[in-house]
Amino acid sequence: MSVAIGLGLMEFPFAGAADYWRWVDLCEAGGVDSLWQTDRLVSRQPILECMAAMAALAGRTRRLRFGMNVVSLALRDPVLLAKQCATIDVLSQGRLLPGFGIGSPRGPEWTAMHLDPKTRDLISVITKVHARTERGLRQYLLRAMRDGCTAHEVLDALLMAFPALGLSRITWAIDVILEMDLPEFRPEALGVPGSWHDLAAEDSIAPGAVERIECDGRAAFVHRGASGFMVYDSRCPHEVTNIPHLALNGTTLTCPKHEWVFDLTTGACIDKGDRPLNQRRSKIERGRLLAFW
Ligand code: FES
């Protein structure tokens, strides 16, 4: 096993370029393995632009390796960045140590560069699809939707990433997303017309009762109140857990995953969480209760 020393710079703590190069020369002569430059495009303190710094280090040094710590991919054109990396790597004879990130969500660069911060969310989703981490995809997809990404934007991003992801990863991701059954990804929300589904005979649900009904691959909680039927998607609005019948206690429903509690007479979340159950349109037709999705 060997141990190497790498030194990182974020701010530029030198009086000028001469001091910087003196420090670089000392590192080169003194056996330091690598230098690392943080990437900030907007900052109160002076900070070198990291790709320009990489190119300058490639020309100044002969032995030292150097890397970005890490370069914000979402703030740059990826094709141009790849070409810059390849150029610096060739000219430095393989001494570039590239590191890529997405960019801080709170960084001022998004505004300064007129970029939509949702880009970061979409790239996060794509990286999880690329790594095929189902848990990560679920987590980052929900975060993207919370941050305002639309279903169409997510689907567009996946298709745009086709050259990197390939068909099998995209179909895997679509399967995971469909399984999550997010309202935004339902056919009707995507402009595909939905249809009415026959849940039960009207008389089979007693006044005041709640039933969990499975129908055409979906499940719903149905409450028959004084003013009619309320039909709710069985998937929790938090992280789309399919809430089982066992979670029912009278007209109160407690999601087993993080214990959000819902009142089935109104659909409201009454404890722990902050979002109501997703209600489905319903109607009675010839004595049958129908729901729309
Ligand atoms: S998934 Fe239901 S409370 Fe978190």
Domain boundaries, the chain: 6-101, 116-185, 196-292
User: What is the per-residue burial (b if ≥16 Cβ within 10 Å, else e) of 254-290?
Assistant: bbeeeebbbbbbebebeeebeeebbebebeeeeeebb
pLDDT category, 1, cuts 50, 70, 90?
confident
Q: Scanning the structure block, which residue is given the tokens 């941050």?
A: 147
DSSP 8-state symbol, 277 = P
At residue 50, the pLDDT reads: 94
CA atoms within 13 A on the CB side of 98: 17
Nearest one of 197, 207, 210 to 227, comparing CA atoms: 207
pLDDT tens, position by position, 109-165? 888 888 887 888 998 999 999 999 999 999 999 999 988 899 999 999 999 999 989
Residues in contact with ligand 1 (CB, 6 Å cut-off):
236, 238-239, 241, 255, 257-258, 260, 273
- Top CATH class, 196-292: mainly beta
184: phi then psi, degrees, rounded to nearest 5? -65, -25
Residues comprising the chain, all counted: 293
The one-letter amino acid code at 89 reads D
pLDDT of residue 186: 81
Confidence of residue 170 (pLDDT cuts 50, 70, 90): very high
**Tokens 């089979």, residue located:** 204
pLDDT in tens, 174-191: 989 988 888 888 877 787
pLDDT of residue 84: 97
What's the gap in Å between 235 CA and the centre of ligand 1? Answer: 9
pLDDT in tens, 272-292: 998 899 899 999 999 999 999
What average pLDDT does the chain have?
Answer: 92
Ligand 1 centroid to residue 74 C-alpha, Å? 31
SS3 20: helix
Homologous superfamily (CATH) for 116-185: AhpD-like (1.20.1290.10)
> Is residue 192 scored above 80 in pLDDT?
no
